[in-house]
Amino acid sequence: MITGAKTEASYRAVVMDSSSSLKDFSMDRKKYFRRYLMGEKIEEKDNPAANMGRIVETLLMEPELFDEKFYMSACANAPTGLMLEFVEALYQCTKAATNEYDEVTKSFEDISRDAYTLSGFKIKYEAVIGKFVGSDAEIFYNEIRQVRAKNLTVVTTQDIANAEKIVNELKTNFATKDIVNLVKSARYGVFNQLQVEGYTVDDHLFKSMMDKCVVDHNARTIQVYDLKCTWSVENFYEEYYLYRRAYIQAYLYNEAVKSLTLDADGELYGYTVFPPKFIVCDSTNYYNPLIYTLDYVDLEDAYNGFEHKGKKYVGVKSLIQDLKWAVENDVWNISRQNYTRNGIVNIKG
């Protein structure tokens, strides 16, 4: 069913698999088990491009929700390079040393020395601390300690300025303006952050939240768009679609929308669903945004699995089978295939 009125937090609270959880399972079964079955909160390391994408998405589609997702830093710019690595490591080490009463049980020197080792700095520890103490990096560290527990992301004025430029580019660029500027009318239904819950693929329940869905009532068609912000717009296929397994997302989004067309009592009954498209913008706002299209063969590949340049990519069908097997047997430290082989594996796979 469509549940577009729910908040993102409410959507995420629904215990049901999604393209994100299936991707996590495909890449790290232990992580899936901890996060989705044990309910552990596993914080991801901040990815500047991913964060920029979230800012752009919010400013473009849901600007009224900005304060619910982001915290404006007192720093004009976030730390970069190894200093950012040190700050992130310091945050993780501090968190690990914090007990249930919110008390830090180790000295700052011990924590910072651990973070120094993890960060990869080659200069001496004392030099790193000298650069850190009293700097914007220290302010940034204290900010993320306070706000990440509230599920907020720390952003700087420079981040916002850059995001606003990207949003303006998307609204004015010849490749994207007709899509991002489209508004609801008698002909078009335009849904931002459309949520569909309870659809099934191979008898397994899923939920999806899609960036933009355009319904053409005259043509009786539906088109889903997903916004991606990357470092490499023109290499999106290999460096994002394949590397981050966005093909899983594309297939499930298509199935989510198709489920809406099967309800004989729904207004979208019998509509034709086009394969999803990716709106890909540059996180530095240098390269021209592009629209990446899929066809039905791409969706079949995403379901059945495929090969590219000698590397095999597991399809949604096999991933669901593997996930069901892991859940039913409560086995997470070995794959279904290697278990059925009694742990004997040919060296070439």
Q: Do 153 and 208 share a domain, yes or no?
A: no
Residue linked to tokens 């199935």: 255
Q: Which among 141, 169, 197 is the end of a domain? A: 169
Instruction: Give yes or no: residues 224 and 241 share one domain.
Output: yes
Q: Give yes or no: residues 164 and 182 share one domain.
A: no
pLDDT digits (tens, 9 = 90+) for 173-216: 999 999 999 999 999 999 999 999 999 999 999 999 999 999 99
Average pLDDT estimate for 48-64: 93
Give the pair of three-digit tokens for residue 40.
Answer: 């552990």
**Shared domain check, 129 and 184:** no
How many domains does the chain contain in total?
2
CATH number at residue 243: 3.90.320.10
Asked if 192 and 293 sit in the same domain, the reply is yes
Q: Give Cα 38 to chain centroid, integer Å.
A: 20
The mean pLDDT of 150-164, rounded to a whole number, is: 94
Residue 253 lies in a domain: yes
Among 114, 136, 169, identify where a domain stops.
Answer: 169
Three-state SS for 220-255 is CEEEEEEEEEECCHHHHHHHHHHCCCHHHHHHHHHH
Amino acid 5: pLDDT:
53
Count of beta carbons in the 10 Å neighbourhood of residue 128: 21
Place of tokens 């589609």: 61
Domain-embedded: residue 26: no
- pLDDT at position 45 is 66
**Residues 56, 212: Cα–Cα separation, whole Å:** 13
pLDDT band at 7 (very low <50, low <70, confident <90, very high): low
Between CA 21 and CA 19 the distance in angstroms is: 6
Is the confidence at residue 6, as pLDDT, over 70?
Answer: no
**In-domain check, residue 248:** yes
Task: Note whether 146 and 183 are same-domain residues.
Answer: no
Q: Given pLDDT bands bounded at 50, 70 and 90, which one contains residue 14?
A: confident
Residues 317 and 210 in one domain: yes
Residues near 320 by beta carbon (within 8 Å), at least 6 away in sequence: 22, 201, 202, 204
Indicate if the pLDDT at residue 1 is higher than 50.
no
Q: What is the largest CA-CA distance in the chain?
A: 69
The reply to whether 260 falls in a domain is yes
Positive/negative CA dihedral, 261, 265, 268, 270: positive
252 shares its domain with 311: yes
- The residue-averaged pLDDT of 32-55 equals 86
- Could you tell me if 151 and 191 lie in one domain? no
Name the 3-class secondary structure at 151.
coil
In a domain, 29, yes or no: no
Domain of residue 332: give its range: 175-337
Q: Are 70 and 186 in a shared domain?
A: no
Parallel, antiparallel, or unpaired for β 277-282 and 221-230?
parallel
pLDDT for the residue 135: 96
Where does a domain end: 151, 169, 187?
A: 169
Do residues 122 and 198 share a domain? no
Q: In this structure, are 97 and 215 located in the same domain?
A: no
Interatomic CA distance for residues 177 and 181, integer angstroms: 6
